[in-house]
Amino acid sequence: MVSKAEVTSNSADTIKLASAGALVLLGLVAFYYFAAQSLLLRVVGLLVIGALAAFIVYQTDLGKRTVAFFRDARTEVRKVVWPSRAETTQTTLTVFIIVVLVGIFLWLFDMLLAYLFRAITGI
């Protein structure tokens, strides 16, 4: 049974998200407004504003759920049993050989169909 997760939204979270978006927008406007200044200073300022906006977003329920999702995803990726180098090489070679064999088979089948077509139509 599939159940929908309830998304609760309160006005404080909405205000925080809107302020973070406005902060990012203000940072981008300032980045281009101060085009005569050093690029390094503008990039550092933009990174600081982005970090501040990310901190504000993290304070919301959506931000905390997003961080928890990525933390859980990272945990699941660590559980994956990755193939060894030898297994990867063997699988790659097997796929390559099968692709070549199927290609040759299709080429021969195409030649047979072309021969039959020419024989039937007399071209």
Q: Map residue 123 onto helix, strand or coil.
A: coil
Look at residue 122 in the predicted model and tell me its pLDDT. Answer: 85
Look at residue 100 in the predicted model and tell me its pLDDT. Answer: 98
Q: What is the pTM of this model?
A: 0.57
Q: How many CB atoms lie within 10 A of CB 88?
A: 11
Task: Dig out the tokens for 62 from the structure.
Answer: 């959506």
pLDDT in tens, the chain (123 residues): 555 656 566 889 999 999 999 999 999 999 999 999 999 999 999 999 999 999 999 999 999 999 999 999 999 999 999 899 999 999 999 999 999 999 999 999 999 999 999 999 988
